[in-house]
A and B are shown apart, each in its own frame.
Chain A
Amino acid sequence: GAGVSQSPSNKVTEKGKDVELRCDPISGHTALYWYRQSLGQGLEFLIYFQGNSAPDKSGLPSDRFSAERTGGSVSTLTIQRTQQEDSAVYLCASSLTVIYGYTFGSGTRLTVV
């Protein structure tokens, strides 16, 4: 596609429920990244994919967070048993290779109530 697409754009969920966030990167972009941004803060790195593999998962905050990427394209970030501190904007980005600038999606605003 023309840009990075994320869905849903907004998600309100009850504490303890699982959520899935989806990212559709630009076609042909081999690198895909997930970041999290809390209100008024900078971006917190979560995970990086090169193709379908995730060489760096170091940013995932706990084992409630997981992500996968299939076909070198779509990625899903799953948060199990959501907590209020998970509330944030989750941003996905892709790039042609690791040395180029990123193209970001518009993010998913997750609110855990």
Chain B
Amino acid sequence: SQQGEEDPQALSIQEGENATMNCSYKTSINNLQWYRQNSGRGLVHLILIRSNEREKHSGRLRVTLDTSKKSSSLLITASRAADTASYFCATDVTGAGSYQLTFGKGTKLSVIP
């Protein structure tokens, strides 16, 4: 079963607006990461938040983590057309005995100029 689930599956906004994507997961994690994918090819690492952190910023990105609710959110402020992409959350599961990230199915973001 999927460890991480992004919500919504698709999001369409006007340029300049903020975009918020959510991720829920099932089991305890070491860290949670967000990635961006353009045109169905390689993913680009955006930000990593550790299980003992609650909020992290990087440029126009803001990530929050609520381990009690097993959820995270990614906020992109002042969106641009170039932000159009699919966004994935990925979790590093605690004690799984395997050091691999588990990815959700992604949120497809469209920013309309």
Q: How far is the CA of A28 from the CA of B37 in the complex (A)?
A: 24
**Among B61-69, B70-78, B103-111, the stretch in contact with A:** B103-111
- The answer to whether A89 and B99 have CB atoms under 8 Å apart is no
- The answer to whether B45 and A91 have CB atoms under 8 Å apart is no
Which residue from chain A places its CB closest to the CB of B31 in the assembled complex?
A99
- The answer to whether B98 and A58 have CB atoms under 8 Å apart is yes
Q: A37-B40, A42-B88, A48-B98 are in contact. Are A101 and B104 (CB under 8 A)?
A: no
- The answer to whether B104 and A42 have CB atoms under 8 Å apart is yes
Task: Give every chain B residue within 8 A of A102 (Cβ-Cβ).
Answer: 33, 35, 43, 45, 101
- The answer to whether B40 and A45 have CB atoms under 8 Å apart is no
A113 at the interface (CB under 8 A from B): no
The size bracket of the interface on B is: 20 to 34
B44 at the interface (CB under 8 A from A): yes
- The answer to whether B102 and A104 have CB atoms under 8 Å apart is no
B48 at the interface (CB under 8 A from A): yes
- The answer to whether A56 and B100 have CB atoms under 8 Å apart is yes
Which residue from chain A places its CB closest to the CB of B33 in the assembled complex?
A101
Q: Which of A35-73 contact B (CB under 8 A)?
A: 35, 37, 39, 41-43, 45, 48, 50, 55-56, 58-59
User: How many residues on chain A are close to B (CB under 8 Å)?
Assistant: 29
Task: Give every chain A residue within 8 A of B97 (Cβ-Cβ).
Answer: 56
A98 at the interface (CB under 8 A from B): yes
* CB-based closest 10 A-B pairs: A98-B99, A101-B45, A42-B105, A43-B103, A56-B98, A104-B42, A106-B42, A104-B43, A106-B41, A48-B100
Knowing that A37-B40, A42-B103, A99-B31 touch, tell me 18 more A-B residue pairs with CB under 8 angstroms: A39-B40, A42-B2, A42-B88, A43-B103, A48-B99, A55-B99, A56-B98, A56-B100, A59-B100, A91-B42, A93-B43, A98-B99, A102-B33, A102-B35, A102-B101, A104-B42, A105-B42, A106-B41
Task: Give every chain A residue within 8 A of B99 (Cβ-Cβ).
Answer: 31, 48, 50, 55-56, 98
